[in-house]
Amino acid sequence: MIKPLLYAGLPLLMTIGGSAAFADTIKFGVPVPLSGPYASAGIDIANAAKLAAAKINAAGGVLGKQIEIVAEDDTCDAQTGVQAAQKLIDGGIAIATGSYCSGAALPELVAFHRAGIPYVLDAATNPKLTSMGFDDVFRTIGRDDEQGPFAGAYISGYLHAKKAAVIDDNTTYSKGLADNTVAALKKDGVDVVYYDAITPGQMDYSAVLSHVSSLSPDVIYYTGYFSEAGLLAKEAAALHVTAKMMGGDATNDTTLIKTAGPAAEGWTATTAPLPQFLSGAKDFVTDFTKAYNTAPGPYSAYEYDAVSVAAKAIADAGSTDPKAITAALHKIANYQGLTGSITFNSVGDRTIASYITVVVKDGAFAPGMKLDASGAWVPVQQ
């Protein structure tokens, strides 16, 4: 551990030393952005992983061993991502659970696959990630092409909108969701009067909004992230935009409400069922808030589930051999996670990805509507 440090000219070597140290734990690798513009999302994910591990460890761990979470910074960048993944592999992880940006997740996934290590994705929703033909990729979150049709159905079937505007932010996730939503809307006969992208970080979107409002859509659906969503809500209110403001699951964050203030009232987000609204997950929210002094991020619950389901698979396999874990993950059936029942299909996606809407009411997200088995819109019961 110390010796390589002496090679001052080769500081890289010191990272080797750190890895193989504690053989009595089972290591879970969590590659997420810990610096750069996406750091806040990555830190929320890593914290959720630690919370899940702590809970499992407190209950005796897995196979008699403790779980150790090793988070590595991928800065949402392909090059750094592959290095983070490789560092985790060399560090002897049994499984990887994590990811945030699809752009970094893909090369990470290739690296893990090559090393035979299973990867349970928590937040990267791009459909392509599970269609690479790898049998060791799983994900606890739904895919963009599943949320899009749900959003489309809500806009046409529940809101009975005739005209809709869809805005994305030109990131992989956002564009994918927007494309799928637009396709669903068109299929349902809704006139998509505007479909364009904004630049995240630009702050002022009133030019776009005033143009959109001149096209008088009934609904504006924004598929990007919460910070721009807050600005859109706020600026739309200032412009007296009458269209209903909606967003995808990445807009489901309290920052939206803090940014837009009263203008956030009525913002509707499509999302997978969140722990906040699931009776079984109340504890998670409390624990997370207590441990990290902040509410969980939008993907924290998915990461929590990813770690939990991975631990379950290790227990089922009775081994930390990656091949055995992969096989066990494929056999997982109806595991009750925070985000609902988890069963993986052949490519590793969840068989049932259910969605709900949440609405900002009195300064907080409140449960909205969901589709019941008969295809009717019913309120979500807490």
Site for other proteins in 340-379 (CB under 8 A): none
Question: Of residues 66, 255, 319, 354, which one binds other proteins by CB under 8 A?
Answer: 255
Nearer to other proteins, 78 or 380 (CB): 78
Nearer to other proteins, 201 or 375 (CB): 201
CB of 56 to other proteins, least distance (A): 23
Nearer to other proteins, 14 or 327 (CB): 14
Q: Does 223 bind other proteins (CB under 8 A)?
A: no
Question: Of residues 93, 165, 184, 237, which one binds other proteins by CB under 8 A?
Answer: 237
Nearer to other proteins, 156 or 171 (CB): 171
CB of 68 to other proteins, least distance (A): 15
CB of 325 to other proteins, least distance (A): 20
Q: What is the 3-class SS of the chain, one letter each residue?
A: CCHHHHCCCCHHHHHHHCCCCCCCEEEEEEEECCCCCCHHHHHHHHHHHHHHHHHHHHCCCECCEEEEEEEEECCCCHHHHHHHHHHHHHCCCCEEEECCCHHHHHHHHHHHHHCCCCEEECCCCCHHHHCCCCCCEEECCCCHHHHHHHHHHHHHHHCCCCEEEEEECCCHHHHHHHHHHHHHHHHCCCEEEEEEECCCCCCCCHHHHHHHHHCCCCEEEECCCHHHHHHHHHHHHHCCCCCEEEECHHHCCHHHHHHHHHHHCCCEEEECCCHHHCHHHHHHHHHHHHHHCCCCCCCHHHHHHHHHHHHHHHHHHCCCCHHHHHHHHHHCCCEEECCEEECECCCCCECCCCCEEEEEECCEEEECEEECCCCCEEECCC
Nearer to other proteins, 26 or 209 (CB): 209
Region of 55-63, 238-246, 270-278, 350-358 interacting with other proteins (CB under 8 A): 238-246
Site for other proteins in 269-308 (CB under 8 A): 294
Site for other proteins in 101-160 (CB under 8 A): 101-103, 106-107, 110-111, 114-115, 126, 128, 132
295/232 Cα distance (integer angstroms): 23
Nearer to other proteins, 133 or 189 (CB): 133
Region of 149-157, 170-178, 333-341, 347-355 interacting with other proteins (CB under 8 A): 170-178
Region of 168-176, 313-321, 335-343, 366-374 interacting with other proteins (CB under 8 A): 168-176
Region of 69-77, 242-250, 273-281, 338-346 interacting with other proteins (CB under 8 A): 69-77
Region of 96-104, 116-124, 149-157, 299-307 interacting with other proteins (CB under 8 A): 96-104
